[in-house]
Amino acid sequence: MGHLVSINPATGEELARYPAFDSQQIQTCIAQAHERFQSYRRIPFAQRSAWLKRVAGILEERKAEFGRLISLEMGKTLASAVAEVEKSAWVCRYYAEEAEGFLAERSMLLRNAYANASGAEHFASRSGIRYQPLGVILAVMPWNFPFWQVFRCAAPALMAGNTLLLKHASNVPQSALTLERIFQEAGFPPGVFQTLLITAAQVAEVVADERVRGAALTGSEAAGSSLARLAGQHLKKTVLELGGSDPFIVLPSADLETAVTTAVAARLINNGQSCIAAKRFILHRAIAEPFTAAMTERFRQLKVGDPLDPQTDVGPLATANILQEVDGQVQALVQAGAKVHVGGSPLGGNFYPPTILSEIPPDQPVAHQEVFGPVALLFTVPDVSAAIELANSTPFGLGASAWTTDPEEQERLLEELEAGSVFINGMVKSDPRLPFGGIKRSGYGRELGREGILEFVNVKTIWVK
Q: Per residue in 148-171, pLDDT tens?
A: 999 999 999 999 999 999 999 999
Report CA dihedral (390, 393, 399, 403) to the nearest 10 degrees: 10
Fold of 3-242+442-464: Aldehyde Dehydrogenase; Chain A, domain 1 (3.40.605)
pLDDT confidence of residue 14: 98
Domains of the chain by residue range: 3-242+442-464, 246-431
Fold of 246-431: Aldehyde Dehydrogenase; Chain A, domain 2 (3.40.309)
Q: Which of 275, 370, 409, 418 is catalytic?
A: 275
Q: Is the pLDDT of residue 122 over 70?
A: no
In this structure, how many other beta carbons lie within 10 angstroms of the beta carbon of residue 110?
13
409 an active-site residue?
Answer: no
416 an active-site residue?
Answer: no
Partners of 249 in beta bridges: 282, 402
State if pTM tops 0.85: yes
Q: Per residue in 182-215, pLDDT tens?
A: 999 999 999 999 999 999 999 999 999 999 999 9
> CA-CA distance, 380 to 182, in Å (whole number)?
48
Q: Per residue in 396-447, pLDDT tens?
A: 999 999 999 999 999 999 999 999 999 999 999 999 999 999 999 999 999 9
Three-state secondary structure of 53-103? HHHHHHHHHCHHHHHHHHHHHHCCCHHHHHHHHHHHHHHHHHHHHHHHHHC
Q: Which of 73, 84, 241, 455 is catalytic?
A: 241
Q: Nearest Cα to 419, choosing from 292, 225, 279? A: 279
Partners of 462 in beta bridges: 128
